[in-house]
């Protein structure tokens, strides 16, 4: 079977500046790829190209066996959903949670109008929010709860690939953990493929199966998680790992990460 997503020779330029330089990367079905790299290395640009928000200057992207054209079909758009660092980016502040979920469900024809309420409650339960959240507005929730609503909206349209760009960076550590657990359980239960971007290696350790490292628009390493954290391939990866504070930061189902190098 072909990979869930193939990025082939993709380059993006902003004027004279090359933000992505001939990227080659495959995402395997039902796995999480953790994307790391210093600020400005091109992680968000790569996420936006995959989500169809930016058209690459070169190269192509395949979702399953379909090449994604410049103008994607509604079906192709829905298959790749994105979660941002700031959940407000995808939540209309003037809409209640009921409206936010109904809009996504109806626009993508996931259910008909008579089923919207039932499906919306199921989605809230999946992200561990109570049904009474339907009648509230985004500003009435905490940051972690807002991120859960953004996740519910994203999974409502039944994507095959979820891209999360620093989704826990703005949250307290204790809230981060519960949101990471949610991503892990959604991956298992919904058979999702995840691309998870974070500058926090504790987060990457908790969530990833494979780690990809970007530097100055290029991918410099793609390794299985355990290998990346114990025997990284490049001096740059070693540099990133050695910059992690010596205190273990996160405990998760992936285990406690303590820097070893």
Ligand X SMILES: Nc1ncnc2c1ncn2[C@@H]1O[C@H](COP(=O)(O)OP(=O)(O)OP(=O)(O)O)[C@@H](O)[C@H]1O
Instruction: Enumerate binding residues for ligand X (CB under 6 A).
Output: 14, 17, 19, 37, 39-45, 199
Beta bridge partners of 25: 7
- CA 105, CA 252: separation in Å to the nearest integer? 32
The answer to whether 6 and 26 are in contact (CB under 8 A) is: yes
The answer to whether 187 and 32 are in contact (CB under 8 A) is: yes
Residue 212 in tokens: 């990809």
Q: How far is the CB of 252 from ligand X (least distance, A)?
A: 22
Under 8 Å CB-to-CB from 5, ≥6 apart: which residues?
26, 27, 50, 61, 62, 63, 161, 193, 195
Q: How far is the CB of 12 from ligand X (least distance, A)?
A: 8
Spell out where 15-152 has E strands: 17-27, 32-37, 58-63, 66-67, 80-83
32/45 with CB nearer ligand X: 45
Q: How far is the CB of 155 from ligand X (least distance, A)?
A: 23
Q: How far is the CB of 226 from ligand X (least distance, A)?
A: 24
39/114 with CB nearer ligand X: 39
Burial 81-118 (b: 16+ CB within 10 A, else e): bbbbbbbeebbeeeebbbebbbebbeebebbeeeebee
Nearest to 240 by CA among 208, 207, 213, 222: 213
53/256 with CB nearer ligand X: 53
14/107 with CB nearer ligand X: 14
Q: How far is the CB of 200 from ligand X (least distance, A)?
A: 11
Q: How far is the CB of 224 from ligand X (least distance, A)?
A: 22
84/229 with CB nearer ligand X: 84
134/203 with CB nearer ligand X: 203
Q: What counts of helices (H) and strands (E) characterise the chain?
A: 9, 10
């Amino acid at each position: 079977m072909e990979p869930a997503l193939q990025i082939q020779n993709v380059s993006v330029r902003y004027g004279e500046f090359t933000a992505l330089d001939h990227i080659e990367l495959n995402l395997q079905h039902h796995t999480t790829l953790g994307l790391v790299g210093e600020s400005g290395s091109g992680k968000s640009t790569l996420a936006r190209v995959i989500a169809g928000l930016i058209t690459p200057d070169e190269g192509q992207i395949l979702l399953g066996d379909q090449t994604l054209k410049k103008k994607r079909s509604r079906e192709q758009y829905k298959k790749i959903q994105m979660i941002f660092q700031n959940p407000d980016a995808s939540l209309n502040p003037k809409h209640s949670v009921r409206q936010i979920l109904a809009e996504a469900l109806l626009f993508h024809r996931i259910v008909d109008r008579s089923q919207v309420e039932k499906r919306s409650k199921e989605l809230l339960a999946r992200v561990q929010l109570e049904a009474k959240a339907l009648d509230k507005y985004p500003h009435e929730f905490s940051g972690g709860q807002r991120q859960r609503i953004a996740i519910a909206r994203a999974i409502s349209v039944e994507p095959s690939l979820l891209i999360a760009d620093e989704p826990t960076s703005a949250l307290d550590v204790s809230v981060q953990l519960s949101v990471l657990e949610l991503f892990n359980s959604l991956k298992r239960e919904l058979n999702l493929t995840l691309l998870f971007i974070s500058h926090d290696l504790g987060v990457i350790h908790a969530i990833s199966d494979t780690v990809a490292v970007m530097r100055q628009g290029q991918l410099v390493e793609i390794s299985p998680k355990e290998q990346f954290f114990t025997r990284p391939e490049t001096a740059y990866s070693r540099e990133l790992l050695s910059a992690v504070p010596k205190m273990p930061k996160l405990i998760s189902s992936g285990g406690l990460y303590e820097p070893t190098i």
